A and B are shown apart, each in its own frame.
Chain A
C-alpha cells in the first residue's frame, strides 16, 4: 500500500511536470498518432476529476454528519484527493494532446485550457495541504475553489464541443426572431440561409473550433473557405464543395454534418443550392426572385404556408352551449379545432324565423362567419346582426335585406366581406357599408346596382371591391336548344299523342304537320298534344325573346300497324351490330343516325351476307306495304341493299317469290340519314307467312375511298301495313 502511495505521488508530480513542459513548448509539439488516440479519450476521462473532486468536497463539508472514526474518514478523503489530483493531471495532458488537433483555437479554448491546468495544480496543492495537516478552514476553501474551477472548465469544454449557446438554445430558438421571418422583407442570406448554417454548421465551424480550418460565422471567413478549399462557387452549386459534402452518403467520412449530428432537411439543402446558383449574394432579397421561382415554394414550406391565420382575441363560448344550438336546420360550429370563432349557417327557409335566429344570441360575441343565404332575413334580423361584434363574413344572398337593414351594420368593425346578391339593396345601402374599416368585398350581383354604379363606387372607395357579376351575358344572344318530341320513337302502330317539350320556360314552340317549314307558313303554336294516326312529318322550332330561335327539328312518323306474331332471323347479323336480334326490327325504336352511335343497339348490320327474315301471322293479313328502315352513311360504308326479294305464303303452302326489286344507290354527297325503302308490292294479297331477303351491296362504288370492299347494310325496323 505504501508503495502504491509513493508511486501515486511520483506519478502526480511527474504528470504535472509534463503539463508545464507541454504548456511551454506547445507550439513546437507534434503529437504521434497513438497519442492522438489517447487525446481523444479526453472527453471520457474528464468526468473522473469532476466527480472525484466534487465528492471530496462534499464529504469534507458534511464531515460531522458522517460520524465516522476520524482516521478512517481521513483515509477516505485522502484517497479521493489522490484520485482527484491524478485524474485531473491526466485529463489535462490528454486535453493538451487533443487541442493540438486541427480545429481548436480561440478564446474559449484558452479559458478552458488554463482553468483546467489550474484545477490540476490546485488539486495537487490540496493533496499536499492535507498531508501537511493545514487547518480545516483552508482545506475547505481550497476544495470549494477547485470544485468551482472544475465546473467552469467543464462548461467551457462543453461549449467547445456543442457550440456556445448549447445550453440555452432550447429557450432562445423558440423566440420570435427566428420563427417569424417577414418574408416580404427577408434578405435571402441573412434571414434564410444563415439561420440554417447557424443551427447546423456553426457549432463546429466557428473561430473557437474551426474544424477543417473552416469558419462560417463571419462573411470573410466563409468566403475564404477551409483546408480543402473554397466552400462554394457562386452561381454553380454543382461545383461547390459545400453541396458535395451535404449530399454525400450519411456514412461517408466527409459527409456534413457528420453522422450523429442533425442533418439538413431537404428544403434547407435546396435553399442553399438555390442561393449558390443565384450567385450567392449576401444582399439579394427574397422578393427579388420571380414569383414562380422554386425558392418561394421552399421558403414557404420552411416557414409555414402563407400569412398566419387570424388570431381572435375573444374567449371561446361554452362548448355544451354551442353544441346545443345545433339543429338539423342550424349549424353552429367552431371554425377550426380549438378556435374560439364560430360559423353559423341556417338552412331551409321554411324553418327559419326570427325566434330561431334569436336563439344564437348567447354566442353573438363568437360568431365570425354567418350564412343566411336564401333565408327570410329582414331588417329585424339585421338589427340583431349589428350586435355580433366579431363578424368577418356575412352572407345574406337572396334574402329580404334592404338598404335600411344594411345601415344597421355600421357597428361591425371587423366585417371584411358581405354577400347581398339577389336582394333589393341599392347604391344607397352599399354606400353606407363603405365606411366599415375592414370591409374589402361586397358581392352585389343581381341587385339594384349595375356595373356603372360599381365602377363609380370602385373609384370612390378604392379599397373595396364591389362585384356586380356577369349580367352582361344578357347582351350575348344564344341559340335556344332544340325542342324535344315525346314519345321518342319514330314508329307507331295505330295512333298516338305527340308532345313537344322544351327545357326552357316561356319559349314558344312553333310547328307544322305535313312537311312545310315552320318559318314559311303561318306559325302554329304548340299548346296541346298532337294526335297522329298516319305517316306524318312534324317540324318544330323554339322561339323566345332575347334568344336566337332554335334549329328546326323534324321527325318523320311512320306507321307500322301490323306486327308479326312470330319471326325469326335466318341469317345472323355481324357480332358488333347485332342489336337485340330480330326483336329490334319490330320494337318501334329507331336507330340513331349519329355515326358515333352506329352500334347503339338498334341497328342490325350485314355485310357479305344476305339479310333473311321470316315472319308468321296467326290471322291472315292483307299486305298494303312492307317497308325497311335503313341507314345511309358513306362514312360508315352503309348503303341500301342492292336487291330485295319478298316471298309470301298462305296457310301451310310453301313460300313463293312475290316480287324482287333493285334499289338505286345514293351518290357520293348523300347525307347520313335513315331511309325508308319500300319492298316490292304484294298486290293486296292475304298471307300468313312472309319472308324478306335483302342483299347488301357487294362492292362499294368506285367513288368511295374503300372502293371494292363489301358495303354494310343496316336496318332498324320493318314496317308492315
Chain B
C-alpha cells in the first residue's frame, strides 16, 4: 500500500515534471537553433565527414614532389647574387647574420668568408628569371614554372629539416604530407597506393632518406607511402611466393578474409578492415604495378626528353618518367628523393654532377605533363630542405669552396595545378642571406599546397591523443600570390 502510494506520488511528480518541462525544453530547442552544430554532431565530426574529398573545388588532383635531399645551394641555382663575387673572401657582416645559429660544422670557424657562385647566371623567360648555367633544361621551362626564392625554415640540420618539410613537425612521428593527402582526399585509383615513393642517389655527399619520412604517423596505415624499388620486383613482398600460382593466392586471400572478417565482427578494430583491403589491393597490384612500371613502350622522343638514363632503373631520370606514369594512373602523391646535395666542400664539382643528374629529367617531366594536359591538375614541386650559406665552409678556393646549412632563405620551384606560371616570387637581400620580401614559411608552403588540392589546412585535422593535429600544426597561411 505504502509502495503504491509512493509510486503514485512519483507518477504525479513525473507527469508534472514533464508537463512543466515542455516549455523549458521548447525554449532549449529554440536556443539550440543558435548553435549550428549542436545536434549535427561536434564540429570535428563535421570535419570528419569531409574526409575523403576536397573541401572545395581543387586546382590540383595530385602532387609530384621532386625532393632534392641534402639541400641544393640556392646561390648556384636560382638566387643570383653577383655581390658575393665582388665581396669574395670578406667576412659576413654581423648586421646580416643577426645572430643566426650555426651548425656544429661552421660554428667554430673564425671567419665567414663570403663566396660567390662559381657558375654564371643568365636570365630566361617572360619573367626574366635568373637561372644558373648548371640548369640549362630548367631554364628552358621557366615560363611554365614559378620560382620561389623566399622559403625559410626553422631547422638547421638535415633530419629535422627534411622531417619538417615532409610532416610539418621536426620531431618525427607525424604523418607525412602524402599520408595527409591520402587521408584527406582518398584514393583515386584503388589498384595502386595513393602515396608512392621513389628514391635515387647522386654521387654528391648524401644524407639519409628513411621510411619514417613517408610514414602514416597516427593516421590509418592505409595512408602509408609505398616505396617503389628499381628492378624486377618494384614493390617488396608483392609477388607470389615461389610455388604459389594466382589461383591458389586468390583462394588463400578469400579464406584469410573470412577469418579476418570473423575477427573484425568480434573485436571491431578498424585496422582489421584496413588489413583486408591491403591484401586485396596488393593482389590487384600484382597486375597494376608491372603495367605502370613497364617503360618499354615509351617512344624514343620521350626517352630523349628525359635523357637516356631514364631507362636505367633507379636513376632520377627513370623515377621522373615513372612519376609521370603513376600520375597518369591516378596516384595522389608521388614523392621522389634524390640524394647527394649536401655540398659542405668541393661544391662546384659535386653540384655540377647533381645538377646533371636532375636538370634534364625535372624539366622533361614538366614538359611531358604539359603536352598531355596533365599539368592542368598535377602540382609539381622541386626543392630541398633548406638552403646553403653565402660564406665558405672550410678552406676558400674559388673552384673548391663548400657551403654550410642555411635555413633563412632558399629557393624551390613549383608548377602546374593552379600555380601561377612564369613568376619569380620573393626576394632576398644582396647577400642572399635574409628574405626581404614575401617570406614563405614551411607551414605557409604546406597550407598553399593543401589549398591547391582543395583542402583547408585548418580543417584537415585528425584527433589523436586528446587533441586535433594538422599538417600545418597551429600556423600557416595560404600564399595567395602563388595561385593562378
Using a CB–CB cutoff of 8 Å, the interface residues on chain A facing chain B are 292, 294, 296-297, 300-301, 305-306, 309-310, 328-329, 331, 333-337, 339, 341, 345, 347-348, 371, 373-374, 393, 395, 397, 417-419, 421-422, 441, 443, 445-446, 467-471, 473-474, 476, 478-481, 503-505, 546-547, 594, 596
Chain B: CB-nearest residue to A546:
B300
Known contacts A296-B480, A371-B330, A480-B308; can you find 4 more A-B pairs with CB under 8 A? A292-B423, A309-B57, A470-B368, A473-B305
Interface pair A306/B55, CB less than 8 Å apart: no
CB of B387 within 8 A of chain A? no
Subset of 15 A-B contacts with CB under 8 Å? A292-B481, A294-B437, A296-B481, A300-B483, A305-B480, A328-B191, A331-B190, A333-B53, A337-B54, A443-B371, A443-B372, A469-B367, A478-B308, A504-B311, A596-B203
Chain A: CB-nearest residue to B481:
A297
Interface pair A300/B50, CB less than 8 Å apart: no
Interface residues on chain B, size class = 35 or more
Interface pair B191/A329, CB less than 8 Å apart: yes
Q: Mark B140-153, 1 if CB is under 8 A from A, else 0.
A: 00000000000000
* Distance A58 CA – B95 CA, assembled complex (angstroms): 76
Chain B: CB-nearest residue to A310:
B57
Chain A: CB-nearest residue to B371:
A469
Inside 8 A of B55's CB, which chain A residues have their CB?
336-337
Within the complex, what minimum Cβ distance (angstroms) separates A711 from chain B?
A: 22
Inside 8 A of B309's CB, which chain A residues have their CB?
481
Interface pair A421/B304, CB less than 8 Å apart: no
Within the complex, what minimum Cβ distance (angstroms) separates A596 from chain B?
A: 5
Contacts A345-B188, A478-B304, A596-B203 given; does A467 touch B53 at CB 8 Å: no
CB of B37 within 8 A of chain A? no
CB of B284 within 8 A of chain A? yes
Within the complex, what minimum Cβ distance (angstroms) separates A442 from chain B?
A: 9
Interface pair B373/A301, CB less than 8 Å apart: no
* Distance A627 CA – B304 CA, assembled complex (angstroms): 43
Interface pair B57/A474, CB less than 8 Å apart: no
Inside 8 A of A309's CB, which chain B residues have their CB?
56-57
- Which one of A297, A393, A419 lies within 8 Å of B372 (CB-CB)? A419
- Which one of A292, A296, A336, A546 lies within 8 Å of B57 (CB-CB)? A336
Interface pair A331/B188, CB less than 8 Å apart: yes
Chain A: CB-nearest residue to B328:
A373
CB of B109 within 8 A of chain A? no
CB of B212 within 8 A of chain A? no
Within the complex, what minimum Cβ distance (angstroms) separates A697 from chain B?
A: 25
CB of B189 within 8 A of chain A? yes
Interface pair A347/B296, CB less than 8 Å apart: no
Interface positions, chain B 404-462, Cβ under 8 Å from A, are 423, 425, 437-438, 451, 454
Chain B: CB-nearest residue to A418:
B373
Within the complex, what minimum Cβ distance (angstroms) separates B215 from chain A?
A: 26
Inside 8 A of A479's CB, which chain B residues have their CB?
308
Interface pair A474/B301, CB less than 8 Å apart: yes
Inside 8 A of A480's CB, which chain B residues have their CB?
308
Contacts A480-B308, A503-B311 given; does A445 touch B371 at CB 8 Å: yes
Q: Mark B302-342, 1 if CB is under 8 A from A, else 0.
A: 01110111011000000000000000111000000000000
Within the complex, what minimum Cβ distance (angstroms) separates B481 from chain A?
A: 5
Contacts A339-B57, A467-B371, A594-B203 given; does A306 touch B480 at CB 8 Å: yes
Chain A: CB-nearest residue to B305:
A473
Interface pair A505/B296, CB less than 8 Å apart: yes
Inside 8 A of A474's CB, which chain B residues have their CB?
300-301, 304
Inside 8 A of A301's CB, which chain B residues have their CB?
477-478, 480
Chain B: CB-nearest residue to A504:
B311
Interface pair B376/A345, CB less than 8 Å apart: no
* Distance A503 CA – B296 CA, assembled complex (angstroms): 9
Interface pair B189/A476, CB less than 8 Å apart: no
Contacts A333-B53, A336-B55 given; does A297 touch B479 at CB 8 Å: yes
Inside 8 A of B368's CB, which chain A residues have their CB?
470
Interface pair B373/A328, CB less than 8 Å apart: no
* Distance A374 CA – B483 CA, assembled complex (angstroms): 30
Chain A: CB-nearest residue to B370:
A467
Within the complex, what minimum Cβ distance (angstroms) separates B235 from chain A?
A: 17
- Which one of B301, B373, B454 lies within 8 Å of A471 (CB-CB)? B301
Chain A: CB-nearest residue to B310:
A503
Interface positions, chain B 458-482, Cβ under 8 Å from A, are 477-481
Within the complex, what minimum Cβ distance (angstroms) separates B352 from chain A?
A: 13
Inside 8 A of A333's CB, which chain B residues have their CB?
53, 186
CB of B484 within 8 A of chain A? yes
Contacts A301-B480, A305-B478 given; does A470 touch B312 at CB 8 Å: no
Chain A: CB-nearest residue to B192:
A347
Inside 8 A of A504's CB, which chain B residues have their CB?
303, 308, 311
* Distance A243 CA – B243 CA, assembled complex (angstroms): 78
- Which one of B191, B296, B367 lies within 8 Å of A470 (CB-CB)? B367
* Distance A277 CA – B188 CA, assembled complex (angstroms): 49
Inside 8 A of B203's CB, which chain A residues have their CB?
594, 596
* Distance A328 CA – B192 CA, assembled complex (angstroms): 10
Chain A: CB-nearest residue to B372:
A421
Inside 8 A of A328's CB, which chain B residues have their CB?
190-191, 284
Inside 8 A of A478's CB, which chain B residues have their CB?
304, 307-308
Contacts A446-B371, A467-B371 given; does A331 touch B330 at CB 8 Å: yes
CB of B160 within 8 A of chain A? no
* Distance A478 CA – B477 CA, assembled complex (angstroms): 44
Interface pair B308/A441, CB less than 8 Å apart: no
* Distance A61 CA – B330 CA, assembled complex (angstroms): 76
CB of B90 within 8 A of chain A? no
Inside 8 A of B329's CB, which chain A residues have their CB?
347
Interface pair A395/B301, CB less than 8 Å apart: no
Inside 8 A of A335's CB, which chain B residues have their CB?
54, 57-58
